[in-house]
């Protein structure tokens, strides 16, 4: 499963720093500290008209699943939560969870650490540079891989393992790649991943109940899961109507759990593009390709 986290588009400072013209170099570099002030968007980031962002997408009706009763062991609440989850999964696969048991402070720290990380100079972030073919590390757009329809975003991805023998894998990875100053940063995401692991196993129970297999069925199957945690950061863009932060895609995962910031922008294609309005108290959950059964007609 992938666990995504996104953060806000910070406001512009009064005096933008001098713009260094790096974007038209032979090897395009996505340096957000430069590009965020640039009125001329490099053509590689401009999406074709038919794929341009749809700013006023109608809201997608998604159930707000209250996990409070279920997590405290109330069987009636578990039945109701699993009914809502099952209904959402049959329709489009998206639902929100509230009273999910994840500490608000931890969520706020995770967003704060993200702002701090992506505010660092490019060369510092590149200590964790993601290499071609690897899943983990820092990536600034996909400039090394593609030459058109590039996303206006930076990401930091790392692996989490629920296996007992990998109990500190997130913190170790972040300290080893970024340096010892990142110990606290690593601790925050180690804790966050553990909280997401607990939440995801609870959701697996609800999926088990809703599909009529035992409550423990998917929980046990995913108990020693390997997951990818991804921080998605969308820098300010002077021409947001020309660019996309993340292009249209399907999640290849079993489950994705996303915490949005308050800016918005997440859209799901259900007959047309529909938006999911940010809610700080909620996680957006969707089942991915490996949990979906598709109907094929011949």
Ligand X SMILES: O=C(O)CCC(=O)C(=O)O
- Binding residues for ligand X, per CB under 6 A? 4, 6, 230, 232, 246, 251, 258, 260, 266
Nearer to ligand X by Cβ, of 210 and 256: the residue is 256
- How long is the chain? 298
Nearer to ligand X by Cβ, of 190 and 260: the residue is 260
DSSP code for 129: B
Nearest approach, Cβ of residue 80 and ligand X (Å): 28
Nearest approach, Cβ of residue 116 and ligand X (Å): 18
Nearer to ligand X by Cβ, of 60 and 81: the residue is 60
Angstrom CA distances, 170 to 183, 189, 230, 294, stand at 10, 7, 12, 34
Nearest approach, Cβ of residue 296 and ligand X (Å): 24
Nearer to ligand X by Cβ, of 82 and 232: the residue is 232
Nearest approach, Cβ of residue 130 and ligand X (Å): 14
Nearest approach, Cβ of residue 146 and ligand X (Å): 16
Q: What is the Cβ-side half-sphere exposure of residue 288, based on CA atoms within 13 angstroms?
A: 17
Nearer to ligand X by Cβ, of 238 and 246: the residue is 246
Q: Are 45 and 154 in contact (CB under 8 A)?
A: no
Residues 6 or more apart whose Cβ sits within 8 Å of residue 98: 64, 65, 66, 67, 68, 279, 281, 282
* Nearest alpha-carbon partner for 81 in 231, 201, 205, 176: 205
Nearer to ligand X by Cβ, of 42 and 278: the residue is 278
Nearest approach, Cβ of residue 25 and ligand X (Å): 27
Strand 255-259 with 2-6, pairing: parallel
Residues 6 or more apart whose Cβ sits within 8 Å of residue 284: 62, 94, 95, 96, 257, 258, 259, 260, 266, 276
User: If DSSP codes are grouped into helix, strand and coil, which group holds residue 150?
Assistant: coil
Q: Which residues pair with 32 in a beta bridge?
A: none
């Amino acid at each position: 499963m992938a666990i995504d986290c996104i953060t806000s588009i910070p406001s512009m400072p009064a005096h933008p720093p001098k713009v260094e013209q790096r974007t038209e170099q032979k090897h395009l570099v996505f340096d957000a500290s430069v590009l965020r002030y640039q009125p001329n968007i490099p053509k590689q980031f401009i999406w074709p008209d038919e794929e341009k962002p749809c700013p006023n997408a109608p809201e997608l009706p998604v159930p707000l699943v209250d996990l409070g009763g279920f997590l405290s062991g109330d069987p009636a609440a578990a039945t109701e939560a699993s009914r809502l989850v099952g209904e959402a999964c049959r329709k489009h696969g998206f639902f929100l969870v509230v009273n999910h048991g994840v500490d608000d402070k931890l969520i706020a720290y995770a967003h704060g650490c993200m702002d701090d990380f992506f505010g660092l100079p490019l060369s510092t972030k590149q200590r964790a540079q993601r290499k071609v073919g690897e899943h983990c590390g820092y990536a600034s757009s996909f400039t090394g891989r593609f030459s058109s329809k590039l996303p206006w975003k930076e990401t930091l991805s790392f692996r989490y393992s629920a296996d007992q023998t990998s109990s500190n894998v997130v913190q170790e990875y972040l300290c080893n790649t970024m340096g010892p100053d990142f110990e606290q940063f690593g601790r925050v995401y180690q804790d966050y991943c553990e909280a997401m692991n607990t939440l995801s196993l609870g959701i697996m129970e609800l999926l088990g109940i809703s599909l009529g297999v035992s409550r423990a069925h998917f929980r046990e199957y995913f108990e020693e899961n390997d997951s990818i945690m991804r921080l998605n950061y969308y820098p300010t863009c002077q021409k947001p109507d020309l660019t996309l932060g993340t292009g249209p895609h399907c999640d290849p995962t079993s489950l994705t759990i996303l915490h949005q910031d308050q800016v918005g922008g997440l859209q799901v294609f259900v007959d047309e593009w529909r938006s999911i309005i940010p809610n700080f108290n909620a996680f957006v959950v969707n089942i991915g390709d490996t949990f979906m059964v598709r109907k094929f007609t011949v």
